[in-house]
Amino acid sequence: MPPDGSALPSKIASGANKPTLVASVCPHDCTSTCALEVERLDANTIGRVHGSRRNDYTAGVICEKVARYAERVHHPDRLSHPMKRTGPKGSGQFARISWDEALDTVAEQFKLKAAQHGPETVWPYYYAGTMGLVQRDGINRLRHAMGYSRWYSTICVTLSDNGWIAGVGYKRGVDMREVDEHSDLVVIWGGNPVNTQINVMHHAMAARKRGAKLVVIDPYRTGTAEKADLHLAVRPGTDGALAVAMMHVLFKEGFADRDYMRKYADAPDELEAHVATRTPEWAAAITGLSAESIVDFARMYGATKKSFIRCHHGFSRSRNGAANMHAVTCLPTVTGAWAQLGGGALYGHSQMYPVDRTVIDGLDLVDRSIRELDQSRLGPILTGDPEALQGGPPVTAMLIQNTNPAMVCPELHLVHKGLAREDLFLCVHEQFMTETAAFADIVLPATTFLEHDDFYTASGHTFFQVAKKVIEPYAEARENHDVICGLAKRLGAKHRGFDMTPWQIMDDALRRAGMWDAETNFRQGGQDFAKPFETAHFLDGFETADRKFHFKADWKRFGGRWQEMPTLPDHMDVIDKATPEKPFRLVAAPARTFLNSTFSETPGSLKRERRPTIMMHPDDCAALGVEEGDRVRLGNERGEVVVHVLPRQGQQPGVVVVEGIWPRKYFETGVGINALTSADPGWPNGGAVFHDTAVWVKAG
């Protein structure tokens, strides 16, 4: 390293029948942000997609779903032209219209609704179908230019970010590339990278091959857990208790590095006194693990200086998820592992990139007096919950880009009821007729990442990467930037970003930040922002005001219900606990070959995932009188789905797991798994709680 873009042209085949290999970057919402090489067969067609070796985090490895991206980009169901609704809402009946008619209609409706209720009635809604900053976030420029309702993004990283930042102060961590050569223990905490970021696995297995131990903390025996030396199958939402009891053992048995803590932590003595009462037996009752296994793992962790914890998002998706994340980040501070090459922890690096976002997001236009609506509370918002609406007008007009909330949001019954409202004008810009698009008044066809230019930060590694379009846009598909600028023109929105090309926006954002210009970045295969050892390992201090790691979490900085949070790490007892009526805890986990709802239309993924399946402990199956393949009903007060049983060892009785955000057509009840999940905000200030759900399971 650094990556050498000049390696690429030598691979470009010159023969007429051979594909040309073109550099690109995976745009998906996955911390790997892989460097790709795409086989271009002609100006409109791709072949296989490969992981590139120009980036030593990707190191030639990508997931199977993106390797067969041709299935998606050339799928017969790609949207090809704009359409307007001709049948009832959600009926899927549409007629073809021109781009001009479509954009004119959207602009007229936005103006009409704003005239009736004020501009806050319009709520542009987006997420991370592409992670490219220009195409993803340009919608915010339109929002701010028009004074539309602001956006509080909570569906993915809010809980995990807050939990990490509460102690470390900033979203960056130790470089995962160190693991291969230097870590003696790798802990994959609360994530399933075999499914969700294969590159983490690749680096962890390189360490294991050298003799490092691999430990996985996950409520069920995932593909990742199957590769581990030790799997601790905690009850969902109890990682805080496990981490605190580990600290109890670390202090008691002499594994705590008091010199390190004196220099680098805020309150080691208070922490020691606090965890003295949090025994392994106390944690055993909460986590469902045996006290011995907690002690054994604590000793293993304490005895290994070069221990690396990869903190994932999965375990933060509970009401107490931020507290649990903070508790886990305290562990390397107690042992001083942060100071070791190959030691410490990583959750994400995404705050490391200096890129200037002013033009992309229209930051110079932000008006903080405008209400900020919570993304994950779409159901309550669209069904008129006054608290969710913050006392403001109803939401009566939306542009949805880059997300499929009719499948991925919690409380789907409310989401669907809201999206079906006659007085809601809905425009959806999409690649496919998703369940969300089916509710739209106007549907617009979108390009894929292969059909437009953009640039990408990464969370799992430290490269900032520019990618150029690889093939021509499909049919009449247009990129997000075009739609935003087309609407801005019709609405009279003013900002220089509406008159720039994506490439100009990129160069502006890079130049202002003193980064390589877009062309240089592309040629070099990405700019690496890895920090030197001292900084990466926080030896020159953590990113807090006093430069120390905070055992006493700074919850106040996040607002909301911060006063209800434990200051020192602890088990925060606010989860949706099992009850006699709802005796099971549901984890609604990611499937290997879907990416949220994306790829749930591709044949390779559907074949592998088969059908919605519930994994249950064999004892629970026996108690219910069900066997492999039987149908069961799974539900709670919010909704109900029918799934097929797969008895599984390696998870606790009382814990059930359904992988994948399956389309509604695969469920007899006509609604997906998120009908059961809750839109309750996690502590301290929001964040979706997809794995924190009490349910009943009934045979038949």
Ligand X SMILES: Nc1nc2c(c(=O)[nH]1)N[C@H]1C(S)=C(S)[C@@H](COP(=O)(O)OP(=O)(O)OC[C@H]3O[C@@H](n4cnc5c(=O)[nH]c(N)nc54)[C@H](O)[C@@H]3O)O[C@H]1N2
Q: Give the interface with ligand X as residue ranges (CB under 6 A).
A: 29-30, 127-130, 135, 155-156, 190-193, 195-197, 217-220, 222, 234, 236-237, 239, 312-315, 318, 401-404, 408, 429-432, 434, 446-447, 480, 587-592, 594-598, 661, 673-674, 677, 690-691
Closest approach of Cβ 368 to ligand X, in Å? 25
Secondary structure of the chain: what % helix, strand, coil (to 5)?
35, 15, 45
Closest approach of Cβ 34 to ligand SF4, in Å? 3
Tokens of 68: 């067969």
Q: Which is nearer to Mo ion, 139 or 645 (CB)?
A: 139
Residue 85 binding result from ligand X, Mo ion, ligand SF4, none, given CB thresholds of 5 to 8 Å by partner type: none
Give me the sign of the Cα torsion angle 648, 653, 656, 657.
negative
Task: Point out which span in 27-35, 103-111, 600-608, 682-690 binds ligand SF4 (CB under 6 A).
Answer: 27-35
Q: Which is nearer to ligand SF4, 34 or 311 (CB)?
A: 34
The gap from C-alpha 529 to its chain's centroid, in whole angstroms, comes to 22
Give me the sign of the Cα torsion angle 282, 298, 233, 307.
positive
Q: Which is nearer to ligand SF4, 103 or 595 (CB)?
A: 595
For 215, list phi and psi in degrees, rounded to 5. Answer: -120, 135
Which of 66, 487, 587, 591 is in the footprint of ligand SF4 by CB under 6 A? Answer: 66
Q: Which residues contact 409 (CB under 8 A, 6 or more apart)?
A: 155, 375, 376, 378, 379, 415, 674, 679
For ligand SF4, the binding residues in 308-367 under the rule CB under 6 A are none
Task: Point out which span in 14-22, 31-39, 282-290, 355-363 binds ligand SF4 (CB under 6 A).
Answer: 31-39
Closest approach of Cβ 65 to ligand SF4, in Å? 6
The verdict on 197 binding ligand SF4 (CB under 6 A) reads yes
For ligand SF4, the binding residues in 581-610 under the rule CB under 6 A are 595
Q: Which is nearer to ligand X, 547 or 577 (CB)?
A: 577
Residue 237 binding result from ligand X, ligand SF4, Mo ion, none, given CB thresholds of 5 to 8 Å by partner type: ligand X
Closest approach of Cβ 287 to ligand SF4, in Å? 30
Left (φ > 0), alpha (ψ -120 to 50) or beta: where does 631 sit? beta
Which of 8, 21, 23, 26 is in the footprint of ligand SF4 by CB under 6 A? Answer: 26
Q: Which residue is nearest to Mo ion (CB)?
A: 156
Q: Which is nearer to ligand SF4, 333 or 598 (CB)?
A: 598
Q: How far is CA 319 from CA 20, 31, 379, 687, in A?
A: 49, 23, 18, 8
Closest approach of Cβ 410 to ligand X, in Å? 7
Q: Which is nearer to ligand SF4, 425 or 599 (CB)?
A: 599
The verdict on 63 binding ligand SF4 (CB under 6 A) reads yes
3-state secondary structure at position 232: strand
3-state secondary structure at position 289: coil
Closest approach of Cβ 545 to ligand SF4, in Å? 35
Q: Which is nearer to Mo ion, 156 or 261 (CB)?
A: 156
Cβ contact 79:445 at 8 Å: yes
Q: Which is nearer to ligand X, 424 or 477 (CB)?
A: 477
Q: How far is CA 250 from CA 187, 189, 226, 278, 439, in A?
A: 16, 18, 27, 12, 55
Q: How far is CA 20 from CA 10, 282, 437, 466, 511, in A?
A: 11, 60, 34, 19, 31
Q: Which is nearer to Mo ion, 196 or 602 (CB)?
A: 196
What would the x/- binding string for Mo ion be over residues 154 to 173, using CB under 5 A?
A: --x-----------------
Left (φ > 0), alpha (ψ -120 to 50) or beta: where does 560 sit? left
* Range list of β-strands (E), 360-433: 372-374, 397-401, 425-430
Rounded CA-CA distance 523/212 in Å is: 36
Task: Point out which span in 24-32, 77-85, 210-218, 410-418 binds ligand SF4 (CB under 6 A).
Answer: 24-32
Rounded CA Rg of the chain: 25
What burial letters (b/e) apply to 333-367, b meaning 16+ CB within 10 Å?
bbbbbbbbebbbbbbbbbebbebeebbbbbeebee
Residue 33 binding result from ligand SF4, Mo ion, ligand X, none, given CB thresholds of 5 to 8 Å by partner type: ligand SF4
Q: How far is CA 682 from CA 237, 560, 567, 686, in A?
A: 12, 10, 16, 5
What would the x/- binding string for Mo ion be over residues 138 to 157, using CB under 5 A?
A: ------------------x-
Length in residues, the chain: 700
Q: Which is nearer to ligand SF4, 26 or 234 (CB)?
A: 26
Q: What is the largest CA-CA distance in the chain?
A: 72
The verdict on 155 binding ligand SF4 (CB under 6 A) reads no
Q: Which is nearer to ligand X, 429 or 582 (CB)?
A: 429
Residue 105 binding result from ligand SF4, Mo ion, ligand X, none, given CB thresholds of 5 to 8 Å by partner type: none
Q: Which is nearer to Mo ion, 396 or 677 (CB)?
A: 677
Rounded CA-CA distance 441/92 in Å is: 10
Rounded CA-CA distance 347/325 in Å is: 9
User: Which residues in this chain contact Mo ion in the complex, by CB under 5 A?
Assistant: 156
User: Which residues in this chain contact ligand SF4 in the complex, by CB under 6 A?
Assistant: 26, 28, 30, 32-34, 62-63, 66, 197-198, 595
